[in-house]
Amino acid sequence: MTTIINEHRAAGQSIGFVPTMGALHDGHMTLLREAKKENDITVVSVFVNPLQFGPDEDFDAYPRDIDADQSLVARIDIDYLFHPTSEEMYPKQDITLTVGRLAAVLEGAKRPGHFDGVVTVVNKLFNIIKPDRAYFGKKDAQQLAIIEAMVDDFNHDIEIIGIDIVREEDGLAKSSRNVYLTDEERLEAVALYNSLLLAKELIDGGETQTAVIEEEIIRYITSYSSGTVDEVAIYQYPELIKVDKLEGQCFISLAVKFSKARLIDNMIIGGL
């Protein structure tokens, strides 16, 4: 992969990169179409990264379907699909990176070590692919903020481009985990997005107290779904600092557990 990339760079071609863990869906395709539009060469990686799975998370059960992924990628003429093995990516891996404060809240607090694994593998992929631009979905807003900070802190000459959340027709954020929802849960899951729309209405109406907004989100999800609210929080973005009152750019983050799926969603307030 590195040899191929070096040939394209020597020819003066720009490289767009979309790192994924596979089980590709329309959200990934949106990232890839944007990368293809803005670059001469587009690369997608498919690698289920063991470093970002905790001891209570089933790495082996993560959905994998490389044949389906290849078919989707081929439909839009992506130049390269990079699909390394764990042994190729981590022949020794004596050194890993640590995120620190940005990973001490939200998903990072729920999944200790998760974002350390993310930045370690993304650093490796950036060094292999050497992209001019890399594309990430805003559905994982905390991850996007951490990647942007990593690029700054480690002097990567890469433009990070965040792409808006891709949703189903009823508003549910597209995710590889949606396949784990029962038929009834799938209908209920739209409550996540609807609760964010309710929050936006409150904010547009002048509400600034984050505790009030969070309580209304919890009330709505509890009333309209069987899911258990795992977390609802409002943070400054991209600083990821908890706030009691809306100020500047913030994002509303939520996580809800269903029987076999834990879904996340968010809404950025104040523009991004």
Across the chain, mean pLDDT equals: 95
Query: Beta strands 133-137 and 41-46: pairing type?
Result: unpaired
**What is the rounded average pLDDT of the residues 194-218?**
97
The pLDDT assigned to 271 comes to 52
Per DSSP, the residues of 203-226 read: HHTT--BHHHHHHHHHHHHHHH-S
Query: Beta strands 41-46 and 15-20: pairing type?
Result: parallel
Q: Which residues are catalytic?
A: 28
Helix, strand, coil share of the chain (percent; to 5): 45, 20, 35
Report residue 120 as tokens.
Answer: 């370690």
Domain boundaries, the chain: 2-163, 176-269
**What is the rounded average pLDDT of the residues 190-202?**
98
Q: Answer whether 177's CB lies under 8 Å from 263's CB.
A: yes
**What is the rounded average pLDDT of the residues 255-269?**
95
Pick the CATH number of 176-269 from 3.40.50.970, 3.40.50.300, 3.30.390.50, 3.30.1300.10: 3.30.1300.10
Tell me the residue length of the chain: 272
Cβ density class 100-138: b for 16+ within 10 Å, e for less = eebbebbbbeebebbbbbbbbbbbbbbebbbbbbbbbbb
Q: What percent of the chain has pLDDT over 70?
A: 99
The pLDDT assigned to 178 comes to 92
The predicted model scores a pTM of 0.93
72: helix, strand or coil? helix
Q: Answer with the residue of higher pLDDT: 56 or 20.
A: 20
Nearest C-alpha neighbor of 47 from the set 146, 122, 144: 122
Whether residue 234 is predicted with pLDDT greater than 80 in this model: the reply is yes
Q: Residues 117-154: pLDDT tens digits?
A: 999 999 999 999 999 999 999 999 999 999 999 999 99
Q: Residues 74-122: pLDDT tens digits?
A: 999 999 999 999 999 999 988 999 999 999 999 999 999 999 999 999 9
Alpha-carbon separation of residue 75 from 100, 206, 256 (angstroms): 40, 46, 33
Report the CATH superfamily, name and number, of domain 2-163: HUPs (3.40.50.620)
Q: Which residues pair with 255 in a beta bridge?
A: 231, 264
Q: Residues 206-215: pLDDT tens digits?
A: 999 999 999 9
Is omega for the bond preceding 91 within 30 degrees of 0, making it cis? no
The pLDDT assigned to 272 comes to 42
